[in-house]
Amino acid sequence: MNHLETLRKQVVADYEQKTPGSRAMFERASKAMPGGTSGNLRFFPPYPLYMTSGQGCRTVDVDGASYIDCFSCSGPLLLGHRHPAVMSALARVEEVGGLVVNPVLMVECAEKLQKLIPCAERVRFLNSGTEAVLTAVRYARAYTGKPKVIKFYGQYNGQDDQFLLGKAPNRKPLGRGIPASSHENTLTLPCNDIAAFDEVVASRDDIAAVIIDPAWHSGGLWSVPKDYLEALRARTRAAGIVLIFDEVITGFRMGTGGAQAYHGITPDLTTLAKALSAGDRLAAVVGSAEIMEVTDPTARKGVPRVFQSGTGNDASFGLAAALGAMAEYERLEASDEYHALWNRVEGLEVAIRSAFEKQGIGVHVNRFCSLMHMFVTDLEPDYERYLTLNNELLDLVCLGLINEGVILAFPTSHSSYFSFTHDQAAFDEMATALTTVLEKYPFAEAYQDQMLGR
């Protein structure tokens, strides 16, 4: 048995010993749901954790074990689990009802977004980031009268068929069941290559919009440089192309104004979800009043009309949670807690690099505000190069940390989302757990075997 097999056997055996309740729940859940979960990112082998509750930066599984939670349900929990500001805001729903037509909460929430998000002259609410993206693109197509949309390799823009391609630097669909016709109006380009963008724009006049995630999160959190975003802003404005910031990830994580305020670049439209309602169900498209007039039933004569509606778009729970969350984000920003959190994350990055270095294991950490993505490698950082990495060692690091009570990231996802409730004690605990894991299991030996076989 080689070192990797020994490592895998030990880590998995300890996980199975620690989580018998999750194993039993997985067997039960698999009889009702494919893979025992309601989403692919919630599964990891040999079986996922099943949780009963959460409070602050910690969550508890069905076996009663507590974990520091940095998965944060894929990022919405910027305020942690059950934050008092959100819970007290939700109490308002008792006097409203879960769903009423055109609630006052909706108006209050839209006005708050106008105050916080630079481009938010007008607001429409939806249920999810996917809905927000497809709606923003529909607005852009109606406004411009053009069909094509540019997206970038390594970026995820929701689950609509037209955008499920290009996670790698090719046009391969992200999974089966997606007709080739769905991608006819989606153009794909390398990110941070302005020459490639200029070439495409110069060669055609049918481009309605460009959509970009400023964090470049799905490709490994490479963070789109400010000068590239500035170049996109200037060129799209000159060409009459709608610039859409997909801030489903970055919204409120980079400050109350998101990436556009952080960088000082105002797009035409922005999509928001996740941290907007701190874990409840709510999304939004915000942007230019002129562009968003296409969905206004009272629009001026000659304005193209877009249909957009939805039964639960203005549900009370999401709106109330968003109002509570945004008020708290304002308070935290005013007291400089954003920078304090980012400094704590930076300290963890330093601790991670030190722990791996002591074991002779290569590591690279991409960090952007309160987000982090880790790679086990000694290769020079590069988006395309890192796509081909063998991530089994990193998967086992993540599983080993779970054995020590830390969900730094789920095996197979490797993304960490830190909340304001991750205090310094939690970060110290995570650093100690990582040192324990790297010393407890034969990671150094397995890494050396991997290096020799590369």
- Joined together, the tokens standing for residue 75 give 């990022």
Residues 6+ apart with CB under 8 A from 273: 76, 128, 129, 132, 248, 251, 282, 283, 284
- Joined together, the tokens standing for residue 218 give 């799905």
In whole angstroms, what is the distance from residue 454 CA to residue 451 CA?
5
Helix axes 316-334, 104-116, angle to 10 degrees: 30
Quick check: 359 and 441 in contact, CB under 8 A? Answer: no
How many C-beta atoms surround the C-beta of residue 124 within 10 A?
Answer: 23
* Residue 199 dihedral angles phi and psi, to the nearest 5°: -65, -45
For the domain with range 3-81+336-452, which CATH number is right: 3.40.605.10, 3.90.1150.10, 3.40.190.10, 1.10.760.10? 3.90.1150.10
Give the pLDDT confidence score for residue 1 in this predicted structure: 61
- Joined together, the tokens standing for residue 27 give 């067997």
Place of tokens 């002779």: 360
In whole angstroms, what is the distance from residue 393 CA to residue 398 CA?
9
Q: What is the DSSP letter of 169?
A: S
Determine how β-strand 186-189 pairs with β-strand 66-69.
unpaired
**Three-class secondary structure of residue 313 per DSSP:** coil
Q: Which helix (H) or strand (E) holds 32?
A: none
- Joined together, the tokens standing for residue 311 give 């039964």
Among candidate residues 55, 53, 86, the one with its CA nearest the CA of residue 279: 86
Q: Which helix (H) or strand (E) holds 270?
A: strand 269-272
In whole angstroms, what is the distance from residue 92 CA to residue 321 CA?
10
- The parts of the chain modelled with pLDDT lower than 70 are 1, 454
Helix axes 443-452, 424-440, angle to 10 degrees: 70
Give the pLDDT confidence score for residue 412 in this predicted structure: 86
Quick check: 316 and 99 in contact, CB under 8 A? Answer: yes
Which residue blocks in 128-211 are alpha helix, DSSP H?
A: 129-144, 194-203
Write the single-letter amino acid at 293.
Answer: E
What torsion, rounded to 10 degrees, do the Cα atoms 42, 450, 170, 176 define? -40
Q: Which helix (H) or strand (E) holds 150?
A: strand 148-152
Give the pLDDT confidence score for residue 167 in this predicted structure: 86
Quick check: 268 and 119 in contact, CB under 8 A? Answer: yes
In whole angstroms, what is the distance from residue 132 CA to residue 276 CA?
12
For the 99-314 domain, the top CATH level (class) is alpha beta
Name the residue ranges covered by the structural domains of the chain.
Answer: 3-81+336-452, 99-314
Which residue blocks in 204-315 are alpha helix, DSSP H?
A: 226-239, 258-263, 289-292
Q: Residue 310: exposed, middle, or buried by beta-carbon count in 10 A (0-12, 13-18, 19+)?
A: middle
Place of tokens 């110069």: 202
Give the pLDDT confidence score for residue 269 in this predicted structure: 98
